[in-house]
Amino acid sequence: MTFTHLPDVVALVEPLAQRFVQAGHRLYLVGGIVRDQWLDHELSDSSDVDLTTDADPSVIKELVADLADALWTQGERFGTIGLRFQGRAIEITTHRAESYASDSRKPQVTFGNDIAVDLSRRDFTVNAMAIEVPSGELVDPWTGAADLQAGLLRTPLAPEISFSDDPLRMLRAARFASRFDLHPSPELAQAATDLRERLRIVAIERIGDELERLFGLPEPERGLRFLVETGLAHVLLTWNEPDAGAPSVDRLRAAAHAASRVAENVWQLRLAAFLTVATQTDTDLEHRLEPLRLSRDDHRMIIDLATSARQIDVSDVQAPSLRRWFAGSKRPADAVTVAIAVADPSDAPGVRAFGDAVAALNEIEDLAAPVLLDGATVMDLLGVDAGPIVGEAVAVLQQAFFDKGPLPVATQATLLEMWWSDRRTDT
């Protein structure tokens, strides 16, 4: 550990630190910024800069008011004062402890003046380090630096206490294990197993955000396997029906592996792959996905990807089948990516060949926008008004495109006239 970039971070907050010190208070960098300094990560525009102090929120406001370009106090009752300082959003929080009642989704907060107590309430030891400013002295009462070096994920207090205080930490454990290549301690894994049902008290929106982050990591498999082995995945898949059955552990392990095989770092594709393996039908997939309350676009995207991936038939790469499949998929290239990830390794080359065949045909025919007679032309040609007949006629043209590919306008007109003549004769 060299703390190569620490001087840059200290210099950024030094005017604030001097103000607190002069007023008889102490100020510390805390959280991810400290962990990142230990890992020698450079300070970037996206780096979160969080500070903690023994000063009360009202004192924080008074001390920073004339230094801040902007000030916001929405989190004041939780001890947090936000400010814009030197073009960067910074949060300063009074030392605190927070916990959840047995049936509450909202933290109960008390303030304190002891940095060690504050750090003890953090989620993991690797996040329970602080750097006092402006001195730059590391405060590490829970040996987070040693755990980072050893690749170990632990909680400062007993994991049963930590996970009871905030059950979302069990999902965060999965994310941190994957993101920082950490092995959850046996005690942590056992506590998550024992307390997995407590996750249900957490607001589903917070859970959705955490899952997006996990599935969006470059290598999420370790975290996903943690969810499977502790039973947290079972809780997530039976969110609205705690007593309902869920996929077997073996199926969920396969789902975690499939999600991790998606090379693209896109959480929607990974979640689609996971659910495609974890569920057996489109109806079941929809049922398991619905409780997460994703945005409408994300929900539809995941359903379309999973459905399209399941509909790929590697034994049929004839043009009619390729055209029909393409028309039913809103994101064909991504659907192929998901299908490759969920396929048995021996079948993956066939799926890849299917995708290549679709792409090659699309270059020749522009499958996304086939030239078909429009509704006005159909009405004029058949001598009908707007109504169901027009829809039937367009469906005939689309079926002809699936079967034969792009047809000249004159050929389409002849085809429709023949269809219309036959239809009137039949009726």
Tens-digit pLDDT profile for residues 211-243: 999 999 999 999 999 999 999 999 999 988 877
Candidates 206, 210, 209; CA nearest to 227 is 210
Question: What pLDDT sits at residue 344?
Answer: 87
pLDDT digits (tens, 9 = 90+) for 280-309: 888 999 999 988 889 999 999 999 999 999
Domain boundary among 90, 113, 148: 148
Q: What tens digit of pLDDT does each residue of 364-407 get?
A: 988 988 888 988 998 988 888 888 899 998 999 999 999 999 99
What's residue 384's pLDDT? 87
- Whole-number pLDDT of residue 268: 96
Tell me what the mean pLDDT of segment 106-134 comes to.
Answer: 88
pLDDT score of 317: 92
**pTM higher than 0.75:** yes
Does residue 182 belong to any structural domain of this protein? no
343, β-bridge pairs: none
Which CATH number goes with the domain that contains 142?
A: 3.30.460.10
Q: Is 139 a domain residue? A: yes
On whether both 413 and 312 belong to a single domain, the answer is: no
Number of domains present in the structure of the chain: 3
Rounded average pLDDT over 26-32: 94
Is 108 among the domain residues? Answer: yes
In this structure, are 384 and 339 located in the same domain? no
**What pLDDT was estimated at residue 427?**
56
Average pLDDT, the chain: 91
pLDDT of residue 243: 75
- Could you tell me what percent of the chain has a pLDDT over 70? 96
Same domain, 71 and 126: yes
What whole-number distance in Å separates Cα of residue 240 and Cα of residue 418?
53
Answer with the one of 148, 183, 204 that is the final residue of a domain.
Answer: 148
Structure tokens, 302: 């995941």
Together in a domain, 397 and 336 = no
* 421, two tokens: 């003549």
Predicted local confidence at residue 60, as pLDDT: 95
Is residue 100's pLDDT more than 70?
no
Whether residue 319 sits in one domain with residue 409: no
Q: Are 126 and 180 in contact (CB under 8 A)?
A: yes
Beta bridge partners of 99: 108
Structure confidence at residue 107 (pLDDT)? 59
132 close to 26: Cβ distance less than 8 angstroms:
yes
48 and 112 belong to one structural domain: yes
In this structure, are 388 and 350 located in the same domain?
no
**C-beta separation of 341 from 273 below 8 A:** yes
Answer yes or no: is 42 within a domain. yes
Query: Does one domain contain both 352 and 391?
Result: no
Instruction: Let me know if residue 298 belongs to a domain.
Output: no
| Structure confidence at residue 113 (pLDDT) | 85
What are the φ and ψ backbone dihedral angles of 53, each rounded to 5 degrees?
Answer: -150, 160
Residue-level pLDDT at 163: 95
In a domain, 319, yes or no: yes
**What pLDDT band is residue 264 in, cutting at 50, 70 and 90?**
confident
Which domain, by its residues, includes 69? 1-148
Judge whether residue 318 has pLDDT over 90.
yes
400 in the same domain as 360: no
